[in-house]
């Protein structure tokens, strides 16, 4: 995607051929800063501290983290150490484990002398595959937007999204935003309601930044606004991303997604979830019961950072000293509230049979 006329992905191999460049997402929308990752530890810290975030991008970063590790120590012990370091960097997005398993499968059977080169090659494939998958999601989701646009006889299609499942959360295009970008490119009039997504505000900071740079009309709304908009016919469909989809079709995504799905259900608004196949976890049969929910620092709830009128970045506390806070980063939306799963292989019903028929290789990997 373009930033000030220049094409960027969220992560890339630098010109030296081995170090990894990534956009430091903690600094957006205030500053556009590129970080350089030169070790496995750098990659683990980037994931843990949310310099990079979003399920597919976490996976891509971990893959390059393995490659960086293999430059330092490509022994069996080095491979295990890298896997163990990276896999615990964040708990909920299954793409992290998926990417590391793919890397281990490619590297374990080969001679340690060949592992570094093979690791970069496999990581590059994972990155390219993400872009291809998102193109597939774009095409399949586009049909849904086109259908609504033609029903509305060319009037604006209003899409609500939560958090950031845009190109910053993936390598390029995004998941939830991919159909939106494609619809916009094709000249369909789309407008996006962007949930701010407290407490880290990925919607206000990242999704709005992305859409703005791409010229997609959008409006940032406080998280509690969606239900009101839906009651008044101001949302045609919701499209969100996901960090893990269980075998039964339950969808784990950024905290607050469940409430939006409830409101959508109550108002007859279609609620779609866009996902790449590595986000499906066939080892989890009941999403609500079994998907681990990350709990993050209370500082994200108590403090807010923004730019002052004279251009300084300032952090202020908004909660009284001494008040306990809770910060659950994700919630699970039951499959019954999900209209459809937009995947690279079509729009599926959120149930085991449809998922299994579309992605038999993911079932095989889980067995
Ligand atoms: C496509 S990324 C997954 C989700 O769609 C996204 O909304 C999300 O929850 C990301 O969470 P984050 O905590 O910012 O990594």
pLDDT tens-place string over residues 291-331: 999 999 999 999 999 999 999 999 999 999 999 999 999 99
Taking the mean position of all CA atoms in its chain, how far away is CA 85? 21
C-beta separation of 215 from 224 below 8 A: no
Closest ligand 1 atom, residue 57 Cα? 2
> Which 3 state secondary structure label does DSSP give 271?
strand
Active site residue 243: yes
Strands 237-240 and 271-274: parallel
3-state percent breakdown (helix, strand, coil) of the chain, nearest 5: 45, 20, 35
Kindly calculate the radius of gyration of the chain based on its CA atoms and give it in whole angstroms. 20
20: burial class by Cβ within 10 Å (0-12, 13-18, 19+)? Answer: buried
Which of 178, 242, 327, 343 to mutate for ligand 1's pocket (most ligand atoms within 8 Å of CB)?
242
Kindly report the pTM of this predicted structure.
Answer: 0.97
Return the pLDDT at 366.
86
Which letter does DSSP use for residue 156 in this model?
A: P
Alpha-carbon distance of 242 to 158, in angstroms, equals 20
191-236 confidence digits (pLDDT tens): 999 999 999 999 999 999 999 999 999 999 999 999 999 999 999 9
Residues 6 or more apart in contact with residue 6 via CB below 8 angstroms: none
Confidence check on the interface: ipTM exceeds 0.85, yes or no: yes
Ligand 1 centre to CA of 73 (Å) is 32
Ligand 1 centre to CA of 276 (Å) is 13
10-39 confidence digits (pLDDT tens): 999 999 999 999 999 999 999 999 999 999
CB-CB neighbours of 310 under 10 Å: 6
Q: How confident is the model at residue 1 (pLDDT cuts 50, 70, 90)?
A: confident
Which residue's entry shows tokens 């750098």? 42
Give me 173's structure tokens: 């295009």
Ligand 1 contact via 55 beta carbon (within 6 Å): yes
Half-sphere exposure (Cβ direction) of 196: Cα atoms closer than 13 Å: 9
Return the pLDDT at 230.
98
Locate the DSSP E strands across 38-137.
none
Q: How confident is the model at residue 132 (pLDDT cuts 50, 70, 90)?
A: very high
Which of 49, 62, 93, 209 to mutate for ligand 1's pocket (most ligand atoms within 8 Å of CB)?
93
Do the two domains 2-129 and 138-365 of this chain adopt the same fold? no
Query: Which stretch of DSSP H or E encloses residue 20?
Result: strand 20-23
The overall average pLDDT reported for the chain is 97
Looking at the domain 2-129, which fold is it? 1.20.120
What CATH number has the domain spanning 138-365?
Answer: 3.40.50.10470
Ligand 1 contact via 89 beta carbon (within 6 Å): no
Alpha-carbon distance of 70 to 224, in angstroms, equals 46
Alpha-carbon distance of 239 to 251, in angstroms, equals 12
Ligand 1 contact via 163 beta carbon (within 6 Å): yes
Closest ligand 1 atom, residue 197 Cα? 7
Return the pLDDT at 79.
98
C-beta separation of 26 from 33 below 8 A: no
Q: What is the percent of the chain with per-residue pLDDT over 70, rounded to a whole number?
A: 100
Ligand 1 centre to CA of 114 (Å) is 34
Take atom 10 of ligand 1 and give the residue whose Cα is closest. 54
Ligand 1 contact via 197 beta carbon (within 6 Å): no
End-to-end CA distance of the chain: 37
C-beta separation of 179 from 342 below 8 A: yes
Return the pLDDT at 365.
84
Task: Map out the domains of the chain as residue ranges.
Answer: 2-129, 138-365
Alpha-carbon distance of 99 to 119, in angstroms, equals 11
Alpha-carbon distance of 173 to 176, in angstroms, equals 9
Return the pLDDT at 155.
97
Mean pLDDT throughout 166-190? Answer: 98
Ligand 1 centre to CA of 76 (Å) is 32
Residue 345 assigned to a binding site: no
Which range is least confidently modeled, 94-98, 126-130, 304-308, 327-331? 304-308
């Amino acid at each position: 995607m373009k930033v000030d006329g220049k094409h960027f992905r969220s992560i890339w191999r630098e010109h030296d051929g081995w170090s990894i460049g990534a956009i430091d997402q903690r600094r957006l929308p205030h500053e556009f800063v590129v970080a350089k990752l030169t070790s496995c530890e750098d990659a683990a810290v980037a994931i843990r501290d949310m310099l990079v975030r979003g399920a597919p991008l976490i996976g891509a970063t971990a893959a390059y983290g393995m490659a960086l590790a293999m430059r330092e120590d490509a022994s069996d012990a080095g491979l295990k150490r890298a896997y163990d370091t990276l896999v615990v960097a964040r708990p909920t997005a299954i793409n992290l484990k998926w990417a590391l398993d793919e890397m281990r499968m490619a590297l374990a059977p080969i001679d340690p002398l060949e592992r570094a080169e093979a690791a970069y090659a496999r990581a590059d494939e994972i990155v390219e595959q993400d872009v291809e998958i998102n193109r597939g999601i774009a095409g399949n989701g586009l049909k849904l937007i086109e259908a609504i646009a033609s029903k509305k006889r060319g009037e604006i299609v209003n899409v609500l999204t939560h958090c950031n499942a845009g190109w910053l959360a993936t390598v390029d295009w995004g998941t939830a935003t991919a159909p939106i970008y494609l619809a916009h490119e094709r000249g369909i009039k789309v407008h996006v309601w962007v949930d701010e997504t407290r407490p880290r505000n990925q919607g206000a900071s990242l999704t709005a930044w992305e859409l703005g740079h791409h010229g997609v009309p959008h409006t940032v709304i406080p998280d509690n606004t969606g239900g009101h908009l839906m009651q008044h016919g101001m949302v045609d469909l919701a499209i969100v991303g996901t960090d893990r989809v269980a075998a039964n079709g339950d969808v784990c995504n950024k905290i607050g997604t469940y409430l939006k799905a409830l409101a959508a259900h109550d108002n007859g608004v279609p609620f779609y979830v866009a996902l790449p196949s590595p986000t499906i976890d066939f080892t989890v049969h009941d999403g609500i019961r079994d998907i681990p929910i990350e709990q993050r620092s209370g500082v994200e709830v108590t403090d807010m950072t923004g730019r002052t009128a004279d251009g300084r970045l300032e952090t202020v506390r908004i909660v009284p000293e001494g008040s306990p806070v809770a910060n659950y980063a994700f919630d699970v939306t039951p499959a019954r509230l999900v209209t459809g799963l937009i995947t690279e292989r079509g729009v599926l019903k959120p149930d085991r049979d449809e998922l299994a028929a579309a992605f038999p290789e993911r079932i095989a990997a889980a067995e």
